[in-house]
Structure 1
Amino acid sequence: MKLLMYSVRDAEKPFATAWAEKNGHELKTIDQPLTADTVDLAAGFDGVSIQQTEGLGDTAVYAKLASLGIKQLAARMVGVDMIDLAACKQNGITVTNVPVYSPRAIAEMGVSQAMYLLRRVGEFNARMKDGDFRWSDDLISNEIYNLTVGIIGLGNIGGATAQIYKALGARVLAYDPFYNVEYEPFVEYADFETVVKSADILSLHTPLLPSTENMIAAPQFAMMKDSAYLINMARGKLVNTADLISALEEHQIAGAGVDTLSDETSFFGKKVSPDQVSADYKKLAAMPNVLVTPHVAFLTQTSIRNMVEISLNDAVAIVEGRRSQNEVRS
């Protein structure tokens, strides 16, 4: 079987090579994403794996894949909002993702950002750059066991996040439309508004859907404690960025840690010139009470290996006419 991997990073290549040798399949890796300009590269292949945040293009891309005999798209990530699922269904293309590659990786990044903000490290750094090394009463921190953490979205990543905070001694409140008894030892379930209002650290772990887009905006910032921190390790469009900037400037919240932004696809994951970076990013990055990372919460050795292997195993399964537990339903 011949498989093509798009958007392959150097760190993925050893795992991809090892998988191909172990399973006896022919595998080609390229660094370009799947777009209208690169779709023809799939000619002669049986299956395709992708890893990207930008969209694939219009429906012609999906029709072209189908015309090349491609019956599946194996996404090497959780989110598939860059894929037109309706167009895939129309063209007989089965989409798989990797819903569980390493929940701990993303959970640990979110907790790391929260602790950085909670201990006011960025604010101390800003003052030290100006030669001010004094202890400061206005930068006294709290300790995590005194705080309430609010989790929005209690799936694999949200559940792992809850377990870490619980182990650190925090009270953990959680909202999810689907109840999961597995997390009862770590969380208290509550309604969305209660979680938002009660949280000292509000951590987002939901997929991007029409119902979740801008789920945190001006009304929610008005509900939050002015001492609270927002952590978004999920999708940028869960948060209204303009409202986030306003909330920070008006001291409605204490700070924010974000691994994702609503307009990130034009510059995250790329080397760009300063004029290509959005004004929103520049404003946020300049704030000492904000920590921005370029959608890298997943980036650990464990995650990369699992994303490669699970994605390619699913591609083979679909091509061979078998089912995968990771099929995405439109």
Structure 2
Amino acid sequence: MFGTKAQEKQYAQDWAQKTGNEVHMTTAELNDDTVDQVKGFDGVITQQTTSLGSPKVYEKLASFGIKQIGTRTAGYDMIDLDSAKANGLTITRVSIYSPRAIAEMGVTQAMYLLRRIGEFNQRMNEENDFSWSPSMASNEIYNLTVGLVGVGHIGGATAQIYKALGAKVLGYDVAYDPEMEPFLTYADLDTVLEKSDIVSLHTPLLKSTANIINADALKKMKKTAYLINVARGGLVDTQALISALKNHEIAGAGLDTLADETTFFAKKVDAADVPEDYKELAAMPNVVVTPHVAFFTSTSVRNMVQIALNDTATIVNGGHSRNALIY
């Protein structure tokens, strides 16, 4: 079990005791330098945002008799699917661990921005300004249109929350889900960008979605709109976003993920190692950044560990998992 976090250990131990299986945990990530640790084990799972490494990693896993790589995440862009396929490796992910956890974080960031909390804090703490300026009046959610880019499990949970709050919800997705009809109206991407007061991203990072929010997309958004990204950093062109914020092309942004986050998120780093784009964004009162923790609830952590371990045991024993990717 690679990339083990302190909060995961008890859940893994509980699973091992309940099932009678052995779970070896390491904080190291799976890559070219660590893959030899897998030798002698029957399965492997990891949680990381960095690449698993070169094709040699997949070749070695297959030579060790490994049948599957499990990721304790919904995203799987750290895995080279071509190398996995070439070596007969099944890939499983935890696509549903607690959609509401991530949905709630996205809504929380949106409400923080909508009610101008960061801007009020700056005025009070830096300018001693406690006045009720007319320019600081905010809107209420039931008056707004929320646009979702991606209407899967997390996007669907987000739609239900916003709908319950009274917002009009638009959704863009390459796949139509009739179960979402009570909570949103499907629309094309341009309509979602142009009509929404809050644009919230919930799509995987694929070649087709990389930088889906670029300079052109940001220009299509309302100047009063907020962008929320609780999905993958690579969905957004960071420099284009910074430029749009500086030029007041959009009102603000809530970001739980950044394109270059693997160098500093989920770890303590020296001040010199904090990227300039993060510093620039974090200094803006109309931006809120969190370190990829939208998933980080006790419910999510438990489910991510135990579902991933269950899938591994199932495949090792010759079974099939509904969480296996078809690729």
TM-score over 0.5 for the alignment? yes
Correspondent of 2:313 among 309, 312, 316? 316
How many angstroms apart in 2 are the aligned matches of 1:172 and 1:237?
A: 24
Q: How does 1:107-256 map to 2 (within 5 A)?
A: 107-130=103-126, 131-256=128-253
Task: Establish whether residue 295 from structure 1 lines up as the match of residue 292 from structure 2.
Answer: yes
Provide TM-score, normalisation by structure 2.
0.99
How many angstroms apart in 1 are the aligned matches of 2:187 and 2:86?
A: 39
Map of 2:29 onto structure 1: 33
C-alpha displacement at 1:294, in angstroms?
Answer: 0.5
How many angstroms apart in 1 are the aligned matches of 2:305 and 2:205?
A: 23
How many angstroms apart in 1 are the aligned matches of 2:269 and 2:47?
A: 20
Worse-superposed segment, 210-219 or 64-73: 64-73
Correspondent of 1:267 among 264, 271, 285? 264
C-alpha displacement at 1:119, in angstroms?
Answer: 0.3
How many angstroms apart in 2 are the aligned matches of 1:321 and 1:9?
A: 29
Map of 2:281 onto structure 1: 284
Map of 2:92 onto structure 1: 96
Correspondent of 2:75 among 53, 76, 79? 79
Correspondent of 2:38 among 27, 35, 42? 42
How many angstroms apart in 1 are the aligned matches of 2:273 and 2:260?
A: 11
C-alpha displacement at 1:40, in angstroms?
Answer: 1.1
What is the one-letter code of the residue matched to 2:252?
A: G
C-alpha offsets along residues 270-295 of structure 1, whole Å, 9 cap, x if unaligned? 11111111111111011000000111
C-alpha displacement at 1:189, in angstroms?
Answer: 0.9
Task: Establish whether residue 8 from structure 1 lines up as the match of residue 4 from structure 2.
Answer: yes
C-alpha displacement at 1:220, in angstroms?
Answer: 1.0
How many angstroms apart in 2 are the aligned matches of 1:209 and 1:105?
A: 23
How many angstroms apart in 2 are the aligned matches of 1:281 and 1:33?
A: 24
Provide TM-score, normalisation by structure 1.
0.98
What is the one-letter code of the residue matched to 2:137?
A: I
Task: Establish whether residue 306 from structure 1 lines up as the match of residue 303 from structure 2.
Answer: yes
What is the one-letter code of the residue matched to 1:146?
A: N
Aligned identity (percent) is 61
SS in 1 for 2:23: strand
How many angstroms apart in 2 are the aligned matches of 1:182 and 1:268?
A: 35
C-alpha displacement at 1:177, in angstroms?
Answer: 1.3
Structure 1 unaligned spans of 5+: none
How many angstroms apart in 1 are the aligned matches of 2:272 and 2:152?
A: 38
Map of 1:68 onto structure 2: 64
How many angstroms apart in 1 are the aligned matches of 2:28 and 2:144?
A: 44
SS in 1 for 2:24: strand
How many angstroms apart in 2 are the aligned matches of 1:135 and 1:329?
A: 55
C-alpha displacement at 1:65, in angstroms?
Answer: 1.3
C-alpha displacement at 1:329, in angstroms?
Answer: 2.2
C-alpha displacement at 1:129, in angstroms?
Answer: 1.1
What is the one-letter code of the residue matched to 1:59?
A: P
How many angstroms apart in 1 are the aligned matches of 2:231 and 2:22?
A: 33
How many angstroms apart in 1 are the aligned matches of 2:177 and 2:326?
A: 21
Q: Which runs of 4+ in 1 moved over 2 A?
A: none
What is the one-letter code of the residue matched to 2:154?
A: I
How many angstroms apart in 2 are the aligned matches of 1:323 and 1:244?
A: 42
C-alpha displacement at 1:63, in angstroms?
Answer: 1.0
C-alpha displacement at 1:78, in angstroms?
Answer: 0.4
Structure 2 unaligned spans of 5+: none
